Amino acid sequence: MGLLFVQGTSKPETETIHPAVAPEMPANVKAVVEKKCYGCHNAESKNEKGKAKLDWDAFEATKKSKQLATMGKINETLAKGEMPPAKFLENRPEGKLSAEELATLMDWSAGKKKSKE
């Protein structure tokens, strides 16, 4: 009689893109938005241009299709290095996104999430 050994395998962590589904904003993304973006991009902002381009207060209440379009614009703007604007950073260098903050926003706005497959 022989022995049978079964070795368990864990599935690797992979990066999955879900472009057709606007993901809810996870806590780590909300933290970056609140710390680095919300000051100019909210309904009460005195920065009319920033408020007109993106209002985080209204984002989650909009249709998923509009959220996806907005996320695409966010991703494109971040990829070009246009946010936060250079003029803003001249007076507020602490507003610069760290590499980790930028990656968090880029991944989220591209519809990427870490998952176990």
For 14-35, the pLDDT digits (tens) are 444 444 445 678 999 999 999 9
pLDDT at residue 69 in the model: 92
pLDDT in tens, 52-83: 899 888 888 888 889 999 999 999 999 999 99
State residue 2's pLDDT score: 55
Query: By residue range, what is the domain housing residue 86?
Result: 24-110
With respect to residue 5, please indicate whether it lies within any of the assigned structural domains.
no
Task: Tell whether 46 is covered by a domain.
Answer: yes
* DSSP string of 42-107, one letter each residue: STT-S-HHHHHH--HHHHTTS-HHHHHHHHHHHHHHHHTT-SS-HHHHHH-GGGSPPHHHHHHHHH
Number of neighbouring beta carbons within 10 Å of residue 91 = 7
Number of domains in the chain: 1
Please indicate, yes or no, whether the overall pTM of this predicted structure exceeds 0.85. Answer: no
**Position 6 in a domain:** no
Whether 35 is in a domain gets the answer yes
User: Is the residue at 15 inside a domain?
Assistant: no
10 assigned to some structural domain: no
Higher pLDDT, 79 or 1: 79
